[in-house]
Amino acid sequence: MNAKTAASRIWIAVDALDRSAAVLGAVTRLASGRAVELAGLFVEDADLLRLAGWPTATETRLFEASMRPMGGAELEAALRAQALALQRRLDALARDIGVPWSFRTVRGRVVQQALSVAASGDWIVLASAATTVALRARQAAPRARPVIWLLPEDAGGLARLLAAAAGYDPQGAADRRVVLPEDPVRAGEIRAAPQAAGAAMRIASEAELMARAACGPAAPGDLVLMTRESGAADPQRLGRLLRRGAGPLALV
């Protein structure tokens, strides 16, 4: 992998422990055979903590009808426990693949915090909120071929995403689908790029990506790839993909 696609550090950024499994799996594949550092970032959700400070705050769980009171101190303790559990998982993963690791806990919003702490050239892997719900709801779904979704902003971005996809899936077991930008000029440049002509991939829409997430990813290994610049330039789109996208999302 060339210098433009190599990362010295891969950040694992989550704000809930139950969203970490798919992210850690993706990071394992992205880091395979490379000299990188794994950097864990657990983000205590500032909005959630503010809501927990209300006197009438309650907690309800997915697929459960019961509710119970949830105060700020109790939520903070629960988040600290989740951060510690994630730190232990990261330690075990780093030992398994033989790379150094680091960990920190911050408070805020996960996307903004991840973009602010990651240095230039670092990769960031974020959890899709849709992944957890879909996997719980459709555990018995038939297996299907995983999909790597490439969301380039230009031809240069496509080359970077294809290189990252090759490292993630060197055997070509996953489908490659490219979601073109809305700008017709940039979309045309990507279609005409030599990388597009030589890659086994097909053009898809963002609606297809969302539909796959809504149906539940039937096989592990789905991944959404964007350049870091594209994600930072359009935080609304990035947030929408994290809420409704299929699989973890990596900014490279």
DSSP E strands in 109-248: the ranges are 123-126, 147-151, 175-179, 202-204, 223-226
Shared domain for 134 and 249, answered yes or no, is yes
Most confident of 19-23, 229-233, 242-246: 229-233
For position 168, what pLDDT does the model report?
95
- 41 shares a domain with 163: no
Domain identity same for 184 and 123: no
Tens of pLDDT, residue by residue over 63-112, are 444 455 555 677 788 889 999 999 999 999 999 999 999 999 999 999 99
The answer on pLDDT for 118 being more than 70 is: yes
- In the chain, the number of structural domains is 2
Q: Are 109 and 51 found together in one domain?
A: yes
3-class state of residue 206 by DSSP? helix
Tens digit of pLDDT for each residue in 134-186? 444 444 455 578 999 999 999 999 999 999 999 999 999 999 999 999 999 99
Among 56-65, 167-176, 234-243, whose mean pLDDT is lowest?
Answer: 56-65
Instruction: Single out the residue in 108, 127, 146 at which a domain terminates.
Output: 127
Which residues share a beta bridge with 251?
124, 226
Give me the pLDDT at residue 25, please.
Answer: 93
User: 137 or 228: which carries more pLDDT confidence?
Assistant: 228
Task: For residues 25 and 3, state if they share a domain.
Answer: yes
Chosen domain end from 96, 111, 127: 127
List residues bridging with 108 in a β-sheet.
Answer: 45
* Same domain, residue pair 61 and 167: no
Domain with 91 in it: 1-127
Average confidence score pLDDT of the chain? 82
CA distances from 155 to 187, 201, 204 (A): 9, 15, 16
Which token pair is 204?
């898809």
Amino acid letter, 236: Q
Contact call for residues 125 and 11 (beta carbons, < 8 A): yes
- Residues 117, 30 share a domain: yes
> Is residue 93 located within the same domain as residue 153?
no
Domain shared by 154 and 190, yes or no: yes
Residues 4, 98, single domain; the answer is yes
Please check the confidence at residue 2 and state whether its pLDDT lies above 90: no
DSSP reduced 3-state for 36: coil
Binned at pLDDT 50, 70 and 90, residue 5 comes out as very low
**Whether residues 247 and 144 fall in one domain:** yes
| Averaged pLDDT, 36-40 | 96
Share of the chain above pLDDT 70, in %: 80
